[in-house]
């Protein structure tokens, strides 16, 4: 889903089923076999969730500006095979003016593993 489509209404209980947590990117690797330019991210979600991996189409960000950045990710979707890489979480972003994905990040530092509500 992208652009201006709007899904139908959902109950608040349905929203609560989506587990969105804060994590810190600790490693960024090249992903040359991806169909669209992407990075392989290693994200630390703290105790309870631990370290997870994600493929993210955010290649317009330099590796150096991603390391140490806090991001939001859905941590309770099933893992998804992307090429030969298993993406364990969905890193969240919004479409920018030029179609690039802009990461959703907390305004200030928060504990890793903090839940969006």
| CA gap 83, 19 in Å, rounded | 25
DSSP state of 6: -
Note down pLDDT in tens along the chain; length 117 residues.
Answer: 455 678 889 999 999 999 999 999 999 999 998 888 899 999 999 999 999 999 999 989 999 999 999 999 999 999 999 988 999 999 999 999 998 999 999 999 999 999 998
Q: What pLDDT does residue 68 have? A: 98
Q: Give domain status of residue 98, yes or no.
A: yes
Q: Give domain status of residue 84, yes or no.
A: yes
CATH number at residue 75: 2.40.50.140
Q: Give domain status of residue 8, yes or no.
A: no
Q: Give domain status of residue 109, yes or no.
A: no
Q: Give domain status of residue 61, yes or no.
A: yes
25: containing domain: 21-103
User: What is the number of structural domains in the chain?
Assistant: 1
Q: Give domain status of residue 78, yes or no.
A: yes
Q: Give domain status of residue 117, yes or no.
A: no
Contact assessment for residue 55 and residue 40, using Cβ atoms and an 8 Å cutoff: yes
Q: What pLDDT does residue 83 have? A: 87
Q: Give domain status of residue 43, yes or no.
A: yes
């Amino acid at each position: 889903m992208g652009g201006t489509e709007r899904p139908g209404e959902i109950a608040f209980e349905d929203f609560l089923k989506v587990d969105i947590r804060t994590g810190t990117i600790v490693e960024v690797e090249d992903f040359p076999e991806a169909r669209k330019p992407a990075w392989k991210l290693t994200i630390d979600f703290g105790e309870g969730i631990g370290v997870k991996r994600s493929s993210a189409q955010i290649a317009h960000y330099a590796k150096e500006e991603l390391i140490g950045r806090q991001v939001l990710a859905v941590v309770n979707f099933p893992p998804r095979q992307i090429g030969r890489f298993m993406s364990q979480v969905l890193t969240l972003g919004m479409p920018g003016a030029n179609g690039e994905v802009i990461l959703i990040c907390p305004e200030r530092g928060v504990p890793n593993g903090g839940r969006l509500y």
